[in-house]
Amino acid sequence: MASNLPTATVADLMSWRPCWNPHDVRSVTDLYEDEPWTALDVLSRRILPPSLISDADRLWVVLRPELVPEPLLHEFACRCAERALSLVKEPYPRSLEVIRVKRAWLRGEATDAQLRLARAAIAVDLLRIGCPLAYYAAYYAAAASSEDASLAVAEASRSKSANAANVAKAANAEIAWQLRELRKMLKEVA
């Protein structure tokens, strides 16, 4: 299938310095050599099967501009932030505003300075209100850190769980949502 998405190889993956054990690295190298693959290949498990890589690590592999166009990374961070803020009963208006400004910035309707001001405003909220994890997702969305935004959502989901058994379940459910959402976004541009 032809795709507009960037590709990478195992050599690229290894240059990103994954923290896998040496046996897994040899398995990946043996399986894929220099075969190019896209973020969709990783997310749909066509390469890097679950026996070699967790879903959280799968996100780590793809949430980078080498594999996902930067505008999509920014939008994904916004969606993660909105999802995290949905866990907050009454989110602070500035946390929602920073997502609005980020999307305006993506459309060329807000300047870098306006985005920096929105990010600074939410940073003040983070300090003032004791840093609930959901607000970090909005902060990271403004900073264009999709990986950090997605991790903040997973952490926020975990923190909402009442007991230890539900913590892992909530985190896994969040990661599954992120994989589906990013796969859907990538299919739209592929």
| Same-domain status, 126 and 52 | no
Domain that holds residue 21: 10-59
Two structure tokens written together for 29 = 């190298």
Residue 64 within a domain: no
| Same-domain status, 90 and 172 | yes
Cα separation, 152 vs 99, whole angstroms: 15
Please tell me the predicted confidence (pLDDT) of residue 1.
46
| Same-domain status, 169 and 78 | yes
| Same-domain status, 106 and 150 | yes
Residue 78 within a domain: yes
Q: Can you say how many angstroms the Cα of residue 121 is from the centroid of all Cα atoms in its chain?
A: 22
Could you give the number of structural domains in the chain? 2
| Same-domain status, 145 and 80 | yes
| Same-domain status, 43 and 88 | no
Backbone angles phi, psi at 43, to 5 degrees: -70, -30
Please tell me the predicted confidence (pLDDT) of residue 31.
61
Cα separation, 44 vs 180, whole angstroms: 9
Rounded alpha-carbon distances, angstroms, from residue 100 to 82, 105, 127, 135, 145: 10, 9, 21, 14, 16
Give residue-wise pLDDT tens across range 42-84: 888 777 767 777 888 888 888 888 898 888 988 988 888 888 7
| Same-domain status, 97 and 132 | yes
Residue 1 within a domain: no
pLDDT in tens, the chain (190 residues): 447 899 988 778 778 777 655 555 555 656 666 778 899 988 887 777 677 778 888 888 888 888 988 889 889 888 888 887 787 777 778 888 888 998 999 999 999 899 888 888 776 666 555 555 556 666 666 665 656 666 665 565 555 555 555 666 777 788 888 889 999 999 999 8
Residue 3 within a domain: no
